[in-house]
Each structure stands twice: as structure tokens, then as C-alpha cells.
Chains A and B, each alone.
Chain A
Amino acid sequence: MDGIHDLGGKLGYGPVDVNEPEEPFHADYEGRMWAISRTARAPSVTIDWWRHIRELIMAEDYLNRPYFDSWAQTTIASMIDAGVFSIEELESGISQTPPLGQVKVVDYDGVLKQNTGMAFRFDRPVEEPAKFAVGQTVLTNAKGHSGHTRLPEYARAKVGVITHYRGAHVFADDGAKGLENAQHLYTVSFKAIELWGDTANPNDSVSLELWESYLAAN
């Protein structure tokens, strides 16, 4: 989707605030939102659907509201969409239905243990052989599509070289539709001058992970 989230290479932003304090959270609500996102999600929500919901936030909100506010809005929207709670229940703070269960209380070590268990993997076995090999030159798709995709606009219709094969990974574009289809995934390196023209430094490069269907032999 050619949305506001696809920021790579867009002009008009900056400078970067390099003097931000180093504390992990700059407000209490940030930590609470992070923690809620670790512990509660709507059933059958995929990471790609969640990301797509965030991409669909109104452009003015996406750019102007604080970062963890966008997480709150994304999680709220995902839960209303999946029927976890209604807008009325959210606004009143009162559930109209009895709870389906109660999560257990965990202590500090319990949280550490749960955290360790969250090193999720996205590689899956597939039968089809990989189409491309390391060292091969590839051309990326010229067009995107209206759904969730991980081929950014700046890397479309560009020629790059495959530097690594990463196995077959759950394909993000389908994940956002609730489907689990694995596709071969490659790290593709693009020269900065290929992406940005002759003003870029000829020594520089940008690498992206790209699924097989984003690529054609060149």
C-alpha cells in the first residue's frame, strides 16, 4: 500500500533529535502500552495484519501523534475489528459480557521466562526450490498493490544483487490477509547510486529482505 508509512527516501523530514534522553520509557503510558502488546492480542491476529492496521491510521495521526499512541490505536482497532470488545465497551470501561477467562498473575521471573519464549521464528519448510542464487542480479517489481507489502516504494524497479538466501519465510503480504504462505526470502543489496542517482556515494549500499515474488531475474 502506497501509504504514509512508506517513508524510505521521502524528502521533507528532519533533522533527527539526537539529544533524546536514554531512558527506555519517556512516559508511564509508553511502558504500559509496550507491556499490553506483549501480553494481550486478539485471537488469530497476525503480525502482518497488525502492521497493516497501523499503516491504515489516518496520515495526519500517523505523522503527528506519539509513537506508542499509534500502538494503542492499532491494538484497539484490531480488537474492535475482531470482536474482543466494542467501541461502547472501550468508551465506558465496562464489559457487557462476562470474561471468558482470567489471565494468571506472573512475577518478575515469570515475565523474564515469558519474554524468553517470544523469540518467534518465521521460516517454514517449502517444497519448491529457490529461484535465485547468491550473487545473482535481480530486478524488483515496478508496482506495489493496495494491501500490506514489504517492498518499499524506493526499492521498486531497481536492480540489486542477492547477498544472502534466508530460507522460506511467512510471506508478509499474505500474512496480512490471515494466510500463512511461505516464500523464499533473500537479502538484496542495492548500490546507493542505483537508488538515489549519481549524487550518492558510490561506496554506499542499502540492503533489504525481499520475498521471491518481489523479484525477477535481470
Chain B
Amino acid sequence: MPSFDPKKITKIHQHLHSHLPSDPALRVKALETILVEKGMVKSENIDKWVEVYADDIGPKRGAHVVARAWADPDFKARLLADGSKAVDEMGFAGPASGHLKAVENTPESHNVVVCTLCSCYPFAILGMAPNWYKTAAYRSRVVREPRAVLAEFGVELSEDTAVHVWDSTAELRYLVIPERPARTEDMSQDELAKLVTRNSMIGTDRDLKIGSA
């Protein structure tokens, strides 16, 4: 049983700080080794999970959700009403999709997502969070100076465009629906999905380009 005692944890951290090897790869290896010894982990299962998150579960899932929302107004209504149900309908349920909220960009507004307290992220539809999303730089600044951070990503907004920052402080996770680019009326959902960047679904990209994929 866990102790739920922060003082005990602080002591363990201090011990680990001075006793574990410095190389993170060796630390993870040590953890995997002892868990295999304890029968709690199989290394071949770990290989498979890495494969699944490298090949299947990533931002292309989210891109298909966005493309379908663009192409299918009924689906978009369902996605905005209950994001979790809508992605489940597409077979994309998974870690952190239990309370999914979609927020939509408009010509007058821009949405951007952060977790200032840790690194919460909708893994099931966006896969692994980029490293920058988890850094002190992004977490500290995007709530306070979102326009400066967005400018670093190449997103320039007029003063009149409202920026809405969503700080994921509970178990709700956010998916930004970027605006559909003009002159894409003839595109299939698969073609549309290729226009949707990972960053546009976090909110650090805005104007999607045709032919950039």
C-alpha cells in the first residue's frame, strides 16, 4: 500500500537523487529490470506498446477527428457536445479521452491548451506530447503571455483576435479544432486530415496550409 506520506517520498527522492545513475536510460532500465523480476512487466509487451504509440496512436488520429468535424456537421455537433463519445465512435478512445472537450477556433478567436501544473495531454488522439509542451518555458509563459509564445511558433494574431488559454487542471482534456482552410471544398476527409498539424490541435499553429503536408 502507498503511504500517502509526502515526507517519506521526499526522503526517497533524496536517496534516489544521490544513488541512481545519472543517465536516464540507465534509470529506466533499472526500473524495467526489477519489474520484470517481480513478474509485473514483460519486456516484449513494452516493445509492443512503444510500437503502437510510434505507428498507430498519434496526432493523425486527432487530425481525422478534425477533418471529419469539418466535413460532417452532424459529427461536429456531436464532437462539441461530447468529445469523449465522438472519438469513441471513431474507435479512438484511450488514455485521457474520458473527458474530452473540443474547442473551436473562429476568425475572431484562438484557443491554446496547456497544463501548467504537470503535463496533461489527450494521448489517445494526439499521441505523445511534444517535449516543449512539458517544459517550464511553455507552461509558465503561455498563460501569461500567450501572444509572445504563439509568435515564437510563427502564429501572429491581431489585437482584436481573442486568445483563450485552457489550463488542464482537472481530468478534462482539450482538442482545438482549427479553422478549415479555404479552397478545400473538393477534398476528401483523408486529404483534409493531412492538412491538420499536431500543433494546430494544441493551438500553437493556426493558419493551415494547403500543400504543406
Please determine whether chains A and B interact with each other in the same assembly. Answer: yes
A residues with CB within 8 A of B? 1, 5-18, 20, 22, 24-36, 38-40, 42-45, 49, 51-58, 61, 63, 65-69, 72-73, 75-78, 80-85, 87, 89-91, 93-95, 99-108, 110-112, 115-116, 118-123, 146-147, 150-152, 154-155, 166, 169-170, 172, 176-178, 185, 187, 189, 192, 195-196, 201, 203-211
Q: Are A93 and B131 in contact (CB under 8 A)?
A: no
18 A–B contacts, CB within 8 A, in A order? A9-B144, A11-B144, A16-B152, A49-B2, A76-B16, A76-B27, A77-B13, A87-B16, A102-B39, A108-B52, A119-B93, A120-B171, A121-B98, A123-B99, A146-B6, A192-B163, A203-B159, A209-B170
> Chain B residues with Cβ under 8 A from A7's Cβ?
116-117, 136, 139-140
B161 contact set on A, CB distance < 8 A: 203
- Say whether B194 faces chain A, with CB atoms less than 8 Å apart: no
Q: Which residues of A contact B41 (CB under 8 A)?
A: 36, 39-40, 103
A178 to B3 alpha-carbon distance, docked (Å)? 9
Contact, CB under 8 Å: B15 / A87: yes
B interface vs A, CB < 8 Å?
A: 1-6, 8-10, 12-17, 19-20, 24-25, 27-35, 37-42, 44-54, 56-58, 84, 88, 91, 93-99, 114, 116-119, 124, 127-128, 130-132, 134-141, 143-144, 146-147, 149, 152-154, 159-172, 198, 204
Residues from chain B with a CB closer than 8 A to the CB of A210 are 169-170
Whole-angstrom distance from the CB of A37 to the nearest CB of chain B?
A: 10
| Distance of A19 from chain B, by nearest CB (Å) | 9
Is there an interface contact between B140 and A11, defined as CB atoms closer than 8 Å? yes
**Chain A nearest Cβ from B205, distance in angstroms:** 10
- Which residues of A sit under 8 angstroms from B37, Cβ to Cβ? 89, 93-95, 99
Q: Check if B141 sits within 8 Å of A14, measured CB to CB.
A: yes
B15: min CB distance to chain A, Å:
6
Chain A residues within 8 Å of B9, by CB:
52-53, 56, 77, 81
Kindly provide the distance from the CB of A122 to the nearest chain B CB, expressed in whole angstroms: 4
B57 touches A147 (CB 8 A): no
- A153 CB, min distance to chain B CBs, angstroms: 9
Contact A24 B54 (CB under 8 A): yes
Q: What's the Cα separation between A188 and B92 when bound, in Å?
A: 28
Task: Determine how close the nearest CB of chain A comes to the CB of B51; give it in whole angstroms.
Answer: 7
A169 proximity list for chain B (CB < 8 A): 170-171
When distances are taken between beta carbons in the complex, the residues of chain A under 8 Å from B168 are 209
> With the chains together, A28 CA to B23 CA distance in Å?
13
Contact call B52/A119, Cβ cutoff below 8 A: no
Q: Is the CB of B3 within 8 A of A81?
A: yes
State whether B38 touches A95 (Cβ < 8 A). yes
- How far is it, in angstroms, between the C-alpha of A211 and the C-alpha of B177 when the chains are bound? 26
B3, B17, B118, B128: which contacts A25 (Cβ < 8 A)? B128
Given contacts A90-B30, A152-B116, A207-B165, 15 further A-B contacts (CB under 8 A): A7-B136, A44-B1, A67-B119, A73-B13, A77-B13, A78-B2, A80-B12, A82-B3, A84-B40, A85-B35, A118-B95, A166-B170, A187-B172, A195-B144, A209-B172
